Amino acid sequence: MKQHIPNAVTCLNLFSGCLGIVFAFNGELVLASYAILIAATLDFLDGMLARLLKAYSELGKQLDSLADMVSFGVLPSVIIFQLFLISTSIPSLNWISYSAFIIAVFSGLRLAKFNIDTRQSENFIGLPTPANALLIAAFPILLEEKNIVFMNYFMNPYSLLVFSVFMSFLLISEIPLISLKFKTTNFSENILRYILICSSLVLIILFQFAASPIILMLYLLISIVHFKQKTTL
């Protein structure tokens, strides 16, 4: 029975992603963003439960990737697609909106690469799909709050196009990044994870959803500095 508990949580992740896609296509982008947040929480929980219960299986591994493809690949693409449609009133530019789905394509490549890349057992290579999805989840909420910085710099089709291409590149890049998977609670072994989590919590308290881009940059910076130091030792 315990073998199926993590898989059940993964299925809830998938269900949340499916609901989010419906919300996004119906124009309820804030609800779609919350669906990503719920899916990300469930994605964290299924991995934690699998480690606690020692309930690892090939089925669970494949199911996790399929759920992530929907929740962190397709759903974020649909949100960006809808933002493209909102950002332009020029019919001749509507074709650009379809570039949103390159995020789904490269998320699929990222997840497939992760499943066969033995280098990623301890850390990540390339941006994890949940990190990308959580960044995109902040966009509708910033738009709802009429965040001036977001609206000035992101709410035009060209900025969204550059963003989609850049994030797609990060997904399949060879940049080594810290994994947030805790195998032990030992502080010295997880100090960077604790720093990142605590810093993220402080930033969220201070800036709420506007903290998402800052957290992502902090994550990239800490990872790059960490692995740069390891290679020079």
| 143-200 per-position pLDDT tens digit | 998 888 888 888 888 999 999 999 999 999 988 888 876 666 666 767 888 888 899 8
| Number of domains into which the chain is organized | 1
Is 214 inside a domain boundary? no
> Residue 121 falls within a domain, yes or no?
yes
| 151 domain residue, yes or no | yes
18 inside domain: yes
Task: Give the chain's radius of gyration (CA, Å).
Answer: 18
Q: CA dist 108 to 68, 82, 88, 111, 131, Å?
A: 9, 20, 28, 5, 14
186 in any annotated domain: no
Q: What is the model's pLDDT at position 25?
A: 96
Residue 94: CATH number of its domain: 1.20.120.1760
Nearest to 155 by CA among 21, 29, 23: 29
Angle at 122 between CA 124 and CA 222, to 5 degrees: 55
Residue 52 CB coordination number (10 Å): 11
- Report yes or no on 130 lying in a domain: yes
Query: What's the pLDDT at 170?
Result: 95
Segment among 37-41, 78-82, 166-170, 176-180 with least mean pLDDT: 176-180
Length of the chain: 233
CA 131 to chain centre: 3
pTM over 0.95: no
Does any domain span residue 218? no
- 141: containing domain: 2-178
pLDDT tens column, 43-66: 989 888 887 887 778 888 889 999
- Within a domain: 221: no
